[in-house]
Every structure is written in structure tokens, then in C-alpha cells.
């Protein structure tokens, strides 16, 4: 196994979108489910990822096992307030995914390190991320790679 990493290019849009679909399909299900509702349709992810790839304040990084794409990370520079931070701009981990058979080998940590380096080069002195409270795997991963929990937030809604 020869894992390599690189910044993504617009030509990688299909790879990024396929990995994005895998990421969102792997998230814990919502407590409120609607069989007809697909919160992350592929065509919308393709459009969103394409826009993000063209945005100079965002970047994607890819991990490969030889020619096989096995993971990606997505980072942004945020100028607005980011909960739990004290500076602006802030580097923000928008997404991270590694195929299940490649996990626990340091690949995700390497992808996040690439995001952190990119954020530093773009004027950031803080790096932030988030995960849903019920996503215990993501929570543990964040703590393992050096993030500190800064805030918790619960959203409410009711039917009218």
C-alpha cells in the first residue's frame, strides 16, 4: 500500500463528489426521517463541490492508494465569527472522509494536517470544525487529533 496525497483540481470533481456521497451516506441517521427526503443528492453535491473547487477561499485534498481515491478533506477560510474561536479569519474543516477499510492508519489525520497548513498559508491562526453530538466517532476523532471541545449547541423546532 502506497498512500499519496495531493491538492484536488477541478478535474477531480467526480472523485470528490463520489467521496462526498460516501461521507454523507455514512453519517448517523437523523432522528426525524422521511423516506422521500435525500438531504445530500449527488447532483447538488456535484454543483456545490464544483463551486467550492473554484473558490480561492476553499480547498480539497485527496488521499490515494496507488490510483484508487480513498479519502478527502475539505477546508475553508471563514471570516465570520466561528463558535469557540477568538480570531478571524479561521480555517474550518468542512468535511473529512476516509473509506472504511483504510481507517485508523493516520490518513484522516494527514488530510487534516494538509488543511491546517493550507489555512496557515491563508492567514489563519486558528482552525475549527464541528460534528453532530450523536456522531461519537467524529467526536472521538477530533479529540484524538488535537481539537478541543469549545461549545455545545442544541437546536429546537416545532411544527406549526
Q: What is the pLDDT of residues 146-155, one digit of tens each?
A: 999 998 887 7
Above 90 in pLDDT, residue 67? yes
Percent of the residues in the chain that have a pLDDT greater than 70, as a whole number: 92
- Taking residues 112-135, what's their average pLDDT? 94
Place of cell 484536488: 8
Q: By the 8 A CB rule, do 112 and 143 touch? A: no
pLDDT at position 32 is 43
Above 80 in pLDDT, residue 104? yes
- Taking residues 17-21, what's their average pLDDT? 93
Superfamily of domain covering 3-26+41-144: Gcn5-related N-acetyltransferase (GNAT) (3.40.630.30)
**Cα separations in angstroms, 80 against 7, 22, 45, 130, 160:** 25, 29, 23, 15, 31
Above 80 in pLDDT, residue 72? yes
pLDDT at position 35 is 52
For residue 60, give every residue at least 6 positions away whose Cβ sits within 8 Å of its Cβ, in sequence order, or none. Answer: 7, 8, 12, 16, 49, 52, 53, 72, 73, 74, 75
> Which of 73 and 23 is assigned the larger pLDDT?
73
Q: Where are the domains of the chain?
A: 3-26+41-144
Distance between alpha carbon 61 and the CA centroid of its chain, in Å? Answer: 10
Amino acid at each position: 500500500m502506497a498512500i499519496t496525497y495531493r491538492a484536488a483540481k477541478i478535474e477531480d470533481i467526480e472523485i470528490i463528489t463520489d467521496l462526498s456521497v460516501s461521507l454523507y451516506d455514512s453519517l448517523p441517521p437523523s432522528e426525524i426521517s422521511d423516506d422521500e427526503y435525500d438531504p445530500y443528492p449527488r447532483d447538488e453535491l456535484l454543483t456545490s463541490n464544483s463551486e467550492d473547487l473554484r473558490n480561492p477561499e476553499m480547498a480539497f485534498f485527496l488521499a490515494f492508494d496507488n490510483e484508487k481515491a480513498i479519502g478527502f478533506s475539505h477546508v475553508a477560510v471563514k471570516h465570520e465569527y466561528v463558535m469557540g474561536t477568538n480570531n478571524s479569519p479561521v480555517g474550518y474543516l468542512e468535511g473529512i472522509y476516509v473509506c472504511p477499510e483504510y481507517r485508523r492508519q493516520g490518513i484522516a489525520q494527514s488530510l487534516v494536517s494538509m488543511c491546517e497548513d493550507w489555512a496557515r498559508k491563508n492567514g489563519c491562526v486558528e482552525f475549527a470544525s464541528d460534528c453532530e453530538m450523536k456522531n461519537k466517532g467524529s467526536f472521538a476523532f477530533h479529540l484524538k487529533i488535537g481539537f478541543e471541545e469549545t461549545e455545545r449547541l442544541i437546536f429546537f423546532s416545532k411544527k406549526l
